Amino acid sequence: MTALAISAGSGRARALFPGVLACAVVAAAASFLAEHYGAPVMLFALLLGMAMNFLSGEGSACTPGIEFTARTLLRLGVALLGLRITVGQIAALGWEPVAIIVISVVLTIAVSMAAARAMGFNTLFGLLSGGATAICGASAALALAAALPAHPLKERATLFTVVGVSALSTLAMIFYPMLAQAIGLDARAAGVFLGATIHDVAQVVGAGYSMSKDTGDVATFVKLMRVAMLVPAVVFAVLITRTHKGESEGPRPPLLPGFAVGFAVLVAINSSGWLPKPLTQAGSEFSRWCLVAAIAAIGMKTQLKDLAAVGIKPVLLMIGETLFLVALAIALLHWLG
């Protein structure tokens, strides 16, 4: 029995290897380009993956590994995001930033879902794009997509959302520090504003430290608090899909997906201080690699014409979500800051 299991495992590994290797190569190329040109690594991974779309064709040796990367490695990468934050970091912010984050996430997702419905989209697309905008950009889009049931348009919606939040996050990194200065925010308030509104972690870090070290520190902690909102957002996504079977296809997902449990467990373990810092840093870096490779795999499974077919309305929806989040964060800073 053991020999049979080993043989089956070896055969499975051989079947997956070509596709996983292709995704890893694209992820490495995307990371290289991002480091040298300062653009979001997720965007490069998407574009390079789409250029390698021929690898995922029917009968291709790479197809099983690409599917594995887009699904299993995606969930592993999301779970390992828990190594980035601790409960102590969240508590150190004080109640005001925490309140701003919770209110912003809840209202942005709610408004996005309502707007998506009003514009004729599936409500779940509003949940996907609103969650990506409100929480942590591409990582949140991937986490929420992993929690949603199978649907013919899910991968295209996920890909479009990642492209949108990556582009908007880059623009935000450039313009939001100027906006924070224009409205007279001090270092701490500017950090809260940047951390609460910019989509991706890397862009938050870039924008925050471009202003000052204190602003960068606060912005990073606030952003990590938004990352912690992944768990309740994923649970909410599952509850929504379980009660809207008419809008979804495939079996209902479990109430608490395994990757969400893993995320919460790793946050708790990381908060205990038991893990050495090199281990948490290595886990966080491996998480990034898994997510970049997963995005490359999703890109390989999608054709450019699929994105071109979405039209202007999804673009307007995501821009509207971003502007709503900015206005809400400024208002909450005025009332609670």
Residues 6+ apart with CB under 8 A from 305: none
Average pLDDT over residues 229-257: 68
Mean pLDDT to the nearest integer, 1-15: 66
- pLDDT of 164 strictly over 80: yes
Per-residue pLDDT for 119 more than 80? yes
Residue (of 226, 196, 190, 197) closest to 211 by Cα position? 190
Give the number of other CB atoms < 10 A from CB of residue 186: 11
Residue 1: pLDDT band with limits 50, 70, 90: very low
pTM, 2 dp: 0.69
The string over 113-150, giving b where at least 16 C-beta atoms fall within 10 Å of a residue's C-beta and e elsewhere, is bebbeeeebbbbbbbbbbbbbbbbbbbbbbbbbbbbbe
**Tens digits of per-residue pLDDT, 31-58?**
999 888 877 787 788 789 888 888 887 7
Quote the CA–CA distance of 23 and 43 in Å, as a whole number. Answer: 14
**In the structure, what pLDDT confidence band is assigned to residue 114 with cuts at 50, 70 and 90?**
very high
Query: How is the chain split among helix, strand and coil, in percent rounded to 5?
Result: 80, 0, 20
Residues 55-113 pLDDT 10s: 887 778 899 999 899 888 877 887 887 887 777 766 776 788 888 999 999 999 999 99
